[in-house]
């Protein structure tokens, strides 16, 4: 059977308008609900990120507190390292008198007898505050090592000086004095030549370190 709409035309228009309004309201409600769900989801994401940020800030605060507590130990370690390097530099720049004496015993001629051997380390080779360089010709070179002894001839003294020049630690070997008459032979006779020979210690290529460590006790 064919359906017949018995509503007047104005009522039909009104009903159609109401149905359109209802659909619009439903769509609007759906949009609002969707926006609400998106807001809730985004708000949850923000809360999670904020909680993560708070956790990271707490960890950073803990690490900063630990670093602050360990700062004195870091300073001690820095001072210890500086002291170790200074001690190593002092050890490396020391004058090895044992080595020098051993080398002298190897080069001394058979006919030479040493009576005394004195040695001093110049101030420029001692660890400590840096000393200003001395201009050339201002001060005379002072001997650091002095050999005093006897021999049979002046030739023996010259040979001894030549051999001293072979020792790496010594330089500027000079004859300070040589007195007495040369003996005619070396068998059954007493050495009659008395001599004094001086030498200087060869300076270091690198100056000794300073014994004052910067930052200690500050």
The CATH fold of domain 97-201: Alpha-Beta Plaits (3.30.70)
Name the pLDDT band for 109 (thresholds 50, 70, 90).
Answer: very high
Residue 4 has pLDDT above 90, yes or no: no
Residue 93 has pLDDT above 60, yes or no: yes
* Backbone φ/ψ region at 108: left (φ over 0), alpha (ψ -120 to 50), beta: beta
For residues 169 and 84, the model is more confident at 169
The tens digit of pLDDT for each residue in 9-54 reads: 666 666 677 777 888 888 888 898 888 888 888 888 888 888 888 8
What mean pLDDT is predicted for residues 97-118? 92
Which DSSP category does 55 fall into? H
Name the pLDDT band for 78 (thresholds 50, 70, 90).
Answer: confident
Task: Quote the pTM value.
Answer: 0.53
Distances (CA, A) of 132 to 28, 123, 139, 210: 92, 11, 13, 13
Q: Where are the alpha helices (DSSP H) in 93-108?
A: 97-107
> E-strand spans in 64-158?
112-119, 145-151
pLDDT at 1: 57
Tell me which residue of 209, 207, 217, 205 sits closest to 84, measured CA to CA. 209
For residues 174 and 65, the model is more confident at 174
The tens digit of pLDDT for each residue in 145-192 reads: 999 999 999 999 999 999 999 998 899 999 999 998 755 554 446 778
Residue 5 has pLDDT above 90, yes or no: no
| Helix (H) or strand (E) segment spanning residue 50 | helix 9-92
The tens digit of pLDDT for each residue in 190-210 reads: 778 999 999 999 886 666 566
pLDDT at 9: 64
Name the pLDDT band for 112 (thresholds 50, 70, 90).
Answer: very high
Query: Domain spans of the chain?
Result: 8-92, 97-201
pLDDT at 127: 67
Distances (CA, A) of 99 to 94, 104, 167: 11, 9, 10
């Amino acid at each position: 059977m064919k359906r017949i709409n018995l509503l007047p035309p104005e009522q039909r228009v009104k009903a159609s308008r109401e149905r359109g309004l209802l659909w619009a309201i439903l769509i609007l409600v759906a949009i609002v609900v969707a926006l609400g769900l998106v807001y809730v989801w985004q708000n949850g994401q923000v809360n999670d990120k904020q909680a993560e940020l708070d956790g990271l800030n707490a960890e950073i605060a803990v690490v900063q507190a630990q670093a602050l507590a360990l700062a004195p130990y870091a300073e001690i370690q820095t001072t210890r390292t500086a002291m170790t390097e200074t001690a190593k530099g002092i050890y490396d720049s020391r004058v090895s008198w044992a080595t020098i004496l051993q080398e002298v015993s190897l080069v001394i001629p058979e006919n030479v007898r040493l009576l005394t051997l004195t040695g001093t380390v110049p101030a420029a080779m001692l660890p400590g505050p840096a000393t200003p360089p001395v201009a050339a010709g201002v001060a005379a070179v002072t001997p650091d090592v002095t050999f005093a002894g006897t021999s049979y001839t002046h030739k023996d003294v010259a040979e001894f000086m030549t051999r001293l020049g072979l020792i790496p630690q010594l330089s500027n070997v000079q004859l300070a004095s040589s007195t007495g008459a040369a003996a005619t032979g070396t068998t059954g006779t007493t050495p009659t030549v008395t001599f004094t020979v001086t030498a200087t210690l060869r300076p270091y290529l690198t100056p000794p370190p300073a014994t004052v460590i910067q930052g200690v006790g500050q």
